[in-house]
Amino acid sequence: MLLNPDLDTVLKAAELTNQYGLDCDSTGRVIGFAMELFERKIINEHDIGFPLKWGDREAILRVIELIAKREGFGDILAEGELRAAKKIGGGAENYALTIKGLEFHESFRGSGAGHALAHSTSTRGSDHLRSSHHAEHLLSPEDAEKFYGYKEAADRTIYTCKEKQVIYNEYNAALADMLEVCKFFSHWLLPFCIGADGFAEVFSAATGIEMSGKDLLRAAERVYNVERAFIV
């Protein structure tokens, strides 16, 4: 994202964002946004206080500190790309890559048609935790046909039937949130993981309330539609 592949730098940046309670995705994106503006001379060293070049470890870590403490130029970047671009002006708006005001998640770059649709229709902007289409990257055509009924689910270059899988993933993301379980072992990730039927068994055993997988997905659909209503 910031053209610095050094693992120590990545881990240190992650440590800082977590210690300060910052979203590491948005923080990384807004720093990249500022680096792009610096490269295009929309902002300069006088604005920031130091050079902000791609891959510069010290600059990356310093900007995280400035954002967290809302000091200097960090006070502007702390507003996120969209608001920061409006304050900066000078064409900065052309480089603010957001969906519903939220910075692009790194998985959006180079992703497939289904993944793009999932992020574009997410109730919280470019958020992989609302809906994703991991099948495009992780399933073979044979497995995609077995689980979803069409091989195209595993082809990230085409648009056919992607809306069906995105909707399914939206509901499974909501279901995981409802049950307070990790999405990474649910159907939100892959159909090899635990689906609604499995969660229904656990829910019924734990609560004594009989629910089927279809019942849970229907409830998840209602949750997701309520989230959409907040956008209108």
Residues 58-80: pLDDT tens digits?
999 999 999 999 999 999 999 99
**What CATH number does domain 7-96 carry, 1.10.569.10, 3.30.1280.10, 1.10.10.410, 3.30.565.10?**
1.10.569.10
Residue 228 predicted with pLDDT over 70: yes
pLDDT band at residue 111, thresholds of 50, 70 and 90? Answer: confident
For 67, residues 6+ apart whose C-beta sits below 8 A from its C-beta are 22, 27, 30, 31, 74, 77, 78
For the chain, give the mean pLDDT.
Answer: 92
Q: What percent of the chain has a predicted confidence (pLDDT) above 70?
A: 98
Torsion of CA 124, 120, 18, 37, to 10 degrees: -120
Residues in the chain: 232
CA 126 to chain centre: 5
Angle at the Cα of 123 from the Cα atoms of 121 and 129, rounded to 5 degrees: 95
Amino acid at 22: L
Segment 155-167 mean pLDDT? 86
Task: Report DSSP state, residue 99.
Answer: E
* Confidence band, pLDDT 50/70/90 cuts, at residue 110: low
CATH of segment(s) 107-231: 1.10.599.10
Output the six-digit token pair for 221. 């659909």
Residue 108 pLDDT grade (very low, low, confident, very high; cuts 50, 70, 90): low
Q: Where are the domains of the chain?
A: 7-96, 107-231
pLDDT band at 170 (very low <50, low <70, confident <90, very high): very high
pLDDT attached to residue 75: 98
| pLDDT at residue 171, as a whole number | 95
Amino acid letter at 97? L
pLDDT of residue 139: 85
Q: Which of 185, 186, 184 lies closest to 220, judged by CA?
A: 186
> Two tokens at 122?
């997410």
Q: Is the pTM of this model over 0.75?
A: yes
CA distance 135 to 138: 5
